[in-house]
Chains A and B, each alone.
Chain A
Amino acid sequence: MREVAVVGTGVTQFGYLWEKSWRDLAVESSLEAIKNSGVDKIDSIYVANFTGGTFVEQEHMAAIVADYLGLLHIPATRVEDACASSAVALRHAYMEVAGGFSDAVLVTGVEKMTDVVTSQGVYSLAMAADREFEGYQGVTFPALFALVARKYMNDFGATREQLASVAVKNHKNASKNPKAQFHNIITIEDVINASMIADPLGLFDCSPMTDGAASVVLMPLEKAKKLTNAAKPIKISGIAQATDTIALAQRESFTSFRATIEAGKKAYEMAGKGPEDIDVTEVHDCFTIAEICAIEDLGFFEKGKGAQATADGLTAIDGKLPVNPSGGLKGKGHPVGATGIAQIANLADQLRGEAGELQVKDPKVALAHNLGGSGATVVVTILEVV
């Protein structure tokens, strides 16, 4: 098996982008990634997208991306696993390169969420849950994570203020990220007093509807090292995926995500690393409670201690372990199909020392955590400076 590296990366502006279609966004991030990868030929494409069928009435998107990039006749594959679509696509691209089938693979994640009204968007997103046994009861994604938040607060005595500190931190980080959807600083009081979405989660506990795309180009590490006109290669030293029950009610625990624990274990083992080796991480903070569970399930903090750790500033850019320096899904925005690849692109910037005002001090090892649905699919990726 060959070692695999991220070479080119490309991320569009995230936000309400009325002037751009999903196609424009996918082409934009793809071209940026291809151009700064330094390769002259792409062998294969993966396009990750959650629900183009309901957001923009378009399926079969991978062929369109190949077509509009002028890369016809090579394989182009659409991947869908809810909000984890693009990290799942990354894993397939990794296997294709590691296995020797291709030498340069483009992975593009894209989502166009603002062509529909909010209630229709909420309905579309709810399709990532169990339609018949959750959706028919009126389940929304904020509701699923609110059920987790309520149980977490009950079991560990966590407070609304502690949960809110996740959103405050991520907005602060996003304010320095030029591509983020939000640049406004918010306070604990703003989060707690915001309109209720699904009790105990208010508007500022939730990631927004976002348009955006993100791309990476993967190559064999040895070949990437020989490229002279490209960005510094970043090695993927671990990548693992795990599943859990689709319906939240069937889980063994409501305060811990088993798929995160399992994918984390496998990724750490593959990379020969542990939680203590990670210098910076981007985790799937679709809701404030999701970041708290993630930093516990990945082994950075003891179960039940993540909320207090966040409130204490341990996860700030200058903290013990910087979590979501990009602003995370909460501040940067969450175009679902693009999120997993945006995390990889952001962490590659960190490891290259090119993250600007978001730069963490001298990181060598980074971890990305991308979660689909209410945790039925999780991918954990470990990146390293070569």
Chain B
Amino acid sequence: MLTIPRAWREKPQRYLFKGGKCKDCGFVTYPARKVCPKCHSENIETVDLPREGKIITYTIVYSAPEGFGDFSPYPLAIVELTNGARLMLQIVDTDLDKVQIGEKVNVVFRRLLVEGNAGIIIYGPKATVVEDK
């Protein structure tokens, strides 16, 4: 069971979609880190991440873990944001056949999971494929 502080302290990355940018080499990570994984600099600033990106690779999950059965089948994708940051996101509000490598996505704010029967509801980022108009 998740305690409230465990969700509350994750506010910057989970609820405000903030990442870290290395002031020395420019590498961006989600979430922010103390040490840049590229150049080992500790000169990191917190930045707002762009909400646009593209799919690097994807899967459709049919055998879901506990707590995710209601969503199944659901797509998961490794998304690269326009500033180069990469993250794992569930793809929502999109027909399964529209989930393809190279497709553009927008990051959206959704319910992630509920821990246990009386646990708090955790929200955070997911993504939706941008339809060509």
Contact = CB atoms under 8 A, between A and B. Distances in A.
Contact of B88 (A150, A154, A196, A247): A247
Given A140-B61, A249-B86, A123 B37 contact: no
Contacts of A247: 88
Interface in B15-74: 29-31, 37, 56-69, 71, 73-74
A334 to B, nearest CB: 16
Most chain B beta-carbon neighbours within 10 Å: one of A136, A138, A140: A138
Contacts of B4: none
A143 B76 CA distance: 8
Contact of A120 (B61, B66, B71): B66
B87 interface: yes
A150 B57 contact: yes
B128 interface: no
Contact of A123 (B10, B57, B66, B90): B66
A57 interface: no
A250 B10 CA distance: 19
Interface residues of A, number: 36
B101 interface: yes
Contact of B89 (A118, A137, A148): A137
A199 B63 CA distance: 10
B78 A138 contact: no
B124 to A, nearest CB: 6
B64 A154 contact: no
Contacts of A132: 10
A254 B61 contact: no
A221 interface: no
A119 interface: yes
A140 B66 CA distance: 10
Contacts of A146: 59
Interface in A217-248: 245, 247-248
Contacts of B37: 245, 250
Interface residues of B, number: 37
30 contacts: A119-B65, A122-B63, A122-B64, A122-B65, A122-B66, A123-B67, A132-B10, A133-B30, A136-B113, A137-B76, A137-B126, A138-B64, A138-B90, A139-B76, A140-B61, A140-B65, A142-B61, A146-B59, A147-B58, A150-B101, A154-B101, A195-B62, A197-B62, A198-B62, A245-B37, A248-B88, A249-B78, A249-B79, A250-B29, A250-B37
Given A137-B90, A151-B56, 19 more contacts: A122-B63, A122-B64, A123-B66, A133-B88, A134-B88, A136-B122, A137-B112, A137-B126, A138-B76, A139-B76, A140-B61, A142-B61, A147-B57, A147-B59, A150-B57, A197-B63, A249-B79, A249-B88, A254-B78
Interface of B: 10, 29-31, 37, 56-69, 71, 73-74, 76-79, 86-90, 101, 112-113, 122, 124, 126
Task: In the A-B complex, list the 3 residue pairs whose CB atoms are closest, starting with the nearest.
Answer: A146-B59, A151-B57, A199-B60
